[in-house]
């Protein structure tokens, strides 16, 4: 984890004492300011992410394009005295999610533009999520199609970073969790932990897709894999983390040097569960 945090932040001192890094995935100024004040108290970097629904090339539901979001966050940082150089900006679930009702070809063209806008604006951490089916896709996409589409978007981000002359190239997160972005909409009592074989296959398929596009250098900047460790919430209840259920999954990282797990929907849990998480 130390290496991953240092690659994200460029701060070896902070990386040496952090066991992980959390993400503030909100566009509300009070939430972002609270995160900044906490990071000031902790003397740590701060990762702030916008989702593909919140911020896109058309404005998203916040009315902000990626470059607007950067200016928005920088203004908040200046207001509370948080150093801009300690900010890490990320894009979550970037892909064709917002355009699933369109054909795959048209949805992916819009996803290309989405990625270009995020990378051009200097977002450093990019979660490539192409797991969703579009209007003319089968109900469930094969791993190969998901990985090829993700590699296509990675190529767009790399080209944008090159065009803009960005000193720091993006780092990437691959994979997705169940349920879809935004958390569970149906009532649930348990969730299935990602199988070891599924996690390893996701990485292997994505690696092949990157290699097929000549993205070997970018593959070395794939730093995380989204998994379901057995924690989720819906509109009425919380499924708490059970370390024993995720023990085999956690061992997968021994076979994935340079990568960590990313878990979503982890915000809500009882206070006594936090130390176990």
Q: For residue 61, tell me if it sits in a domain.
A: yes
Q: For residue 276, tell me if it sits in a domain.
A: no
Q: For residue 221, tell me if it sits in a domain.
A: yes
How high is the pLDDT of residue 110?
99
Q: Which domain holds residue 145?
A: 4-263
**Which three-class secondary structure state does DSSP give residue 23?**
strand
Q: For residue 275, tell me if it sits in a domain.
A: no
Of 260, 274, 266, 269, give the one whose Cα is nearest residue 127. 260
How high is the pLDDT of residue 241?
73
Pairing of strands 232-233, 222-226: unpaired
Q: For residue 185, tell me if it sits in a domain.
A: yes
Residues 223 and 260 sit within 8 Å (Cβ to Cβ): yes
Q: How confident is the model at residue 232 (pLDDT cuts 50, 70, 90)?
A: confident
Helix (H) or strand (E) holding 40: helix 29-42
Q: Note the pTM of the prediction, 2 decimals.
A: 0.89
Query: Distance between CA 41 and CA 37 in Å, rounded?
Result: 6
What is the chain's mean pLDDT, rounded?
88
Angle of helix 143-164 relative to helix 196-212, nearest 10 degrees, comes to: 50
Query: Distance between CA 20 and CA 262 in Å, rounded?
Result: 10
Mean pLDDT to the nearest integer, 235-262: 82
Residues 42 and 86 sit within 8 Å (Cβ to Cβ): no
CATH of the domain at 214: 3.20.20.70
Does the pLDDT at position 35 exceed 90? yes
Q: For residue 74, tell me if it sits in a domain.
A: yes
Helix (H) or strand (E) holding 173: strand 171-174
Does the pLDDT at position 186 exceed 60? no
Q: How many domains does the chain have?
A: 1
The separation between CA 84 and the C-alpha centre of its own chain, rounded to angstroms, equals 20
């Amino acid at each position: 984890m130390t290496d991953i945090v240092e690659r994200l932040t460029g701060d070896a001192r902070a990386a040496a004492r952090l066991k992980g890094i959390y993400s503030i995935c909100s566009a509300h100024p009070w939430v972002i300011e609270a995160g900044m004040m906490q990071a000031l108290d902790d003397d740590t970097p701060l990762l702030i992410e916008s989702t593909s629904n919140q911020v896109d090339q058309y404005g998203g539901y916040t009315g902000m394009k990626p470059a607007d979001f950067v200016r928005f966050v920088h203004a908040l940082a200046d207001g509370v005295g948080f150093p801009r150089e300690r900010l890490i900006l990320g894009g979550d679930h970037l892909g064709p999610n917002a355009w699933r009702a369109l054909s795959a070809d048209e949805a992916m063209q819009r996803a290309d533009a989405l990625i270009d806008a995020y990378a051009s604006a200097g977002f450093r951490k990019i979660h490539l999520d192409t797991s969703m089916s579009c209007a003319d896709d089968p109900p469930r996409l094969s791993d190969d199609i998901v990985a090829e589409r993700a590699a296509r978007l990675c190529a767009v981000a790399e080209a944008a970073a090159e065009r803009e002359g960005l000193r720091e190239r993006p780092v990437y997160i691959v994979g997705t969790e169940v349920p879809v972005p935004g958390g569970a909409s149906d009532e649930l009592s348990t969730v299935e932990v990602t199988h070891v074989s599924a996690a390893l296959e996701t990485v292997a398929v994505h690696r092949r897709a990157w290699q097929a596009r000549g993205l070997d250098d970018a593959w070395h900047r794939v730093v995380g894999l989204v998994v379901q460790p057995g924690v989720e919430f819906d509109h009425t209840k919380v499924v708490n983390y059970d370390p024993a259920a995720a023990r085999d999954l956690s061992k997968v990282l021994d076979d994935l040097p340079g990568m960590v797990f990313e878990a979503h929907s982890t915000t809500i849990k009882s206070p006594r569960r936090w130390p176990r998480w």
